[in-house]
Amino acid sequence: MGCGLRKLEDPEDSSPGKIYSTLKRPQVESKTDSVYEYVLLDFSLEGSRPTVQYLSSLCELPHALQSYYTQGYVLAALHPIILSVGRTRFLPCSLLYRAILVRPRSSKHAVPVIDSLPVLRVEEWPLPGESMTSDTVRLLIDRVNSYARGGVRFVGSVLQQAGGGGCNGRVPSPRRGCRSPPRTPPGDADLEGRGYSPDLRLLVLFHSWAPGCAPLDSLVCCYHQGALSMRVSRKGQVVSALEADWLELTAAYYRKGWSLVDSFVYWDTPKGEPVPRSLEGLFVYEEKSIAPPANDTIVVEQWTVIEGSDVKTDYGPLLHTLAEFGWLLTCVLPTPIIRHDSEGNLATKQVVFLQRPAKGQRVPQHNQVKHGRKSYRCDGKPSPVWPQMIL
């Protein structure tokens, strides 16, 4: 079944996306001691497809990924391919999800470096209130921290809405495989006694280890919130474009050695309220117990093109190239921006965040790199993956 949608906007540019980095091109492509391998898997909650695995619920994800975990891969990020808001909420392709798995390997050896293997856990948390707010996210982060003190590590979250992005259009139930906590963790008192939205649930993903097997940097992780602000253009209620100073928003946290692991933005405009020209949200950063060096970062605004119900082009080739230079993907921010490409295929934009330990303690210099239709290396010769860079 296809992903039909009438044309929301005329393409304002023909480029596949933009890259922002704290480094210049030669530094981005410099070798490090670490190399990563990625696997990109797509899942559908709608039904079986030739190239996409069917899940009746995202709560089945741990079982679906188990064979990869035994090979040393772990989940780095999970995101909807089409963000389920507004007009897209009831599209079949709004039930498509992308899981990005990663494993490290030594740059000098082909054998993966496998430490103690974690177990992926998925839990369903009800959302207090009728919508996502900064207060809601603060309470959720408090709850994540209460879990983290028990030795688990936060991976990310997915907002579920009845009628789209849920389990076959329904809100998932703990009986369908989600493991709800047996008691309210410490620090959750603020969640008690609040009204809960019947249409919103949050699926929260953690890594946990057997007693005594957790890596040292996962024993005590703390999670913090950071500002996320975007200027948006709209056509009616529809977000048609966005602008954000990604490096300015994240630089202070990366200089501390923190990792960006999740983002919260509620894209819908509440009924009866004026349509805003800017949107606020929150990033979630992870602080490890063992202080790491500062991080450099790459942010990619990338178009994903869907042909029928299959992903035709996306950030995958660029991600695999950056993996060879030690760049670790930690977060993907899906957006509700949708258009049709020149061939009539549906295209949507995602923002991908990668990081790498800085060589020395440099103050980041903000450089913008733009994709072009043709690809070139710095010496002017064609390159199969890297786009033309305009600094």
pLDDT digits (tens, 9 = 90+) for 67-96: 999 999 999 999 999 887 766 666 667 788
For residue 52, the model assigns a pLDDT of 84
Residue of 336, 364, 330 whose CA lies nearest to 261: 330
pTM (two decimals): 0.81
Spatial separation of the C-alpha atoms in residues 23 and 29, rounded to whole Å: 10
- Residue 245, burial from CB neighbour count under 10 angstroms (0-12, 13-18, 19+): middle
Structural contact between residues 335 and 84, judged by C-beta atoms closer than 8 angstroms: no
How much is the pLDDT for 62?
97
What is the average per-residue pLDDT within 313-329? 94
pLDDT tier at 371, thresholds 50, 70, 90: very low
Location of structure tokens 């786009």: 387
pLDDT value, residue 234: 87
- CA–CA distance, 73 with 14 (Å, rounded to integer): 35
Query: What is the pLDDT, as a whole number, of residue 301?
Result: 94
Residue boundaries of the structural domains of the chain: 17-370
Show the CA angle centred on residue 228, arms to residues 319 and 14, nearest 5°: 50
Distance CA 368, CA 21 (A): 6
Over the stretch 255-291, which tens digit does the pLDDT of each residue have? 999 999 999 988 877 777 777 888 889 999 999 877 7
Q: What is the pLDDT of residues 42-70, one digit of tens each?
A: 998 887 677 788 898 999 999 999 999 99
DSSP character at residue 272: T
Residue 215 in this model has a pLDDT that exceeds 90: no
Residue 254 has pLDDT above 90, yes or no: yes
Quick one: average pLDDT of 202-213? 87
